[in-house]
Amino acid sequence: MARHNWTKEEILEIYNKPLMELLYEAATIHRKHHDPNTVQVSTLLSIKTGGCPEDCGYCPQAARYHTDIEGNDLMSVNQVKAQALRAKAAGSSRVCMGAAWRNVKDGREFDNVLEMVRSINKLDMEVCCTLGMLTENQAKRLAEAGLYAYNHNLDTSEEYYKEVISTRGYEDRLKTIDNVRKTNVTVCSGGIIGMGESIDDRAGMLVALSTLNPQPESVPINALVPVEGTPMEEEEPVSIWEMLRMVATTRIVMPETQVRLSAGRTKMSREGQAMCFFAGANSIFAGDKLLTTPNPDVNEDMEMFKQLGLNPQKAFEKKEKPESVSAEESQYQSQDEKPKWSRPGHKIERNLEAQQKTKTEA
């Protein structure tokens, strides 16, 4: 099973390894637990934009900040279904619906969201929601409607959290994750780097995520996209080297999790993204927007997939999860115990097997 007792010191030691050594270790673990040539593609849809009462320093949807974001009321079920069909045609297997709410309120709007979940589920697509804080009963109602995943990011370490947001506490976020865990809905929870936090804070966030039991099935790693009008508008963009280290460290600490390469991809070259996939990222958000921030065009992503030989993951595709192993164990493990895609020369081996079968039949 995955480890749930990582310490900040251990994670910092991993994060600060020589880069080539870090990438090799992460890639080795990634190949043990995942098909390195498959990447899950999601489409993020803002079903209700702007007017949020929270004060998250990175978010242009906060009502108190003066940004150019155009707010809109909750979309209709038919509008959401039409967007989901377009996303599916473009190669997405999951639709993530986001609403700029502090917390979910029972009533007509929540009933409409439940109907959106049912409608997308009927399209044979995974459905994810990020709607703010949830009660246990609301989580159960989403599960009954067919929700596949719920996103609720921790954002950063508990220590740095108060520098990012004051309108809710770290425990509030953990409580929502706990409410989701009381259902069969999977958890998607990650954070943002580039908000002025230290490397210690990045490690602290990974401690908080990795010590959850079970660990989140999905961990988005976002690079801050500074938006004019927000308190973080002048933060310096993170480098590709920082993203690589964060992705690789996340992969090592949470080997069975899908690591999502999320906000900030527009600032990354294809080569940079390819290195992130090598380091263990195996999920992206497609479409020209991530709620309100820019994102690469889906056609650009599909061209990148073609160049890298990557295949979009199918909806509801679940693989048997092997037990986690240490980096040392994974390096010395028997070739026969590794997935065939991770064995050098497996095509030759397959051809020899076919030839032997033919001789036997003859």
| Residuewise pLDDT in 10s, the chain (362 residues) | 688 999 999 999 999 999 999 999 999 999 999 999 999 999 888 888 866 777 777 777 676 666 666 667 889 999 999 999 988 888 889 999 988 887 788 889 999 999 999 999 999 999 999 998 999 999 999 999 999 999 999 999 999 999 988 888 899 999 999 999 999 999 999 999 999 999 999 999 999 999 999 999 999 999 998 788 787 787 888 999 999 999 999 999 999 999 999 887 888 889 999 999 999 999 988 765 444 455 566 788 888 999 999 998 888 875 343 343 344 443 333 334 444 333 333 333 334 344 444 444 44
Which residue out of 56, 94, 168, 181 is catalytically annotated? 56
At residue 238, the pLDDT reads 92
At residue 230, the pLDDT reads 82
129 catalytic residue (yes or no)? no
Catalogue all structural domains in the chain, each as residue range(s) with its CATH number.
8-324 (3.20.20.70)
276 catalytic residue (yes or no)? no
β-strand pairing of 289-290 with 293-294: antiparallel
At residue 265, the pLDDT reads 83
**Terminal Cα-to-Cα distance of the chain (whole angstroms):** 46
At residue 139, the pLDDT reads 96
Which residue out of 141, 173, 181, 188 is catalytically annotated? 188
188 catalytic residue (yes or no)? yes
Peptide bond before 214: cis, by omega within 30 degrees of 0?
yes
52 catalytic residue (yes or no)? yes
> Distance between CA 140 and CA 133 in Å, rounded?
13
At residue 310, the pLDDT reads 93
Which residue out of 52, 168, 173, 181 is catalytically annotated? 52
At residue 23, the pLDDT reads 97
Report yes or no: 220 and 250 within 8 Å, Cβ to Cβ: no
At residue 168, the pLDDT reads 85
Largest CA distance in the chain: 78
Beta strands in 121-277 (DSSP E): 126-130, 149-151, 186-188, 191-193, 218-223, 258-261
Which residue out of 94, 181, 251, 260 is catalytically annotated? 260
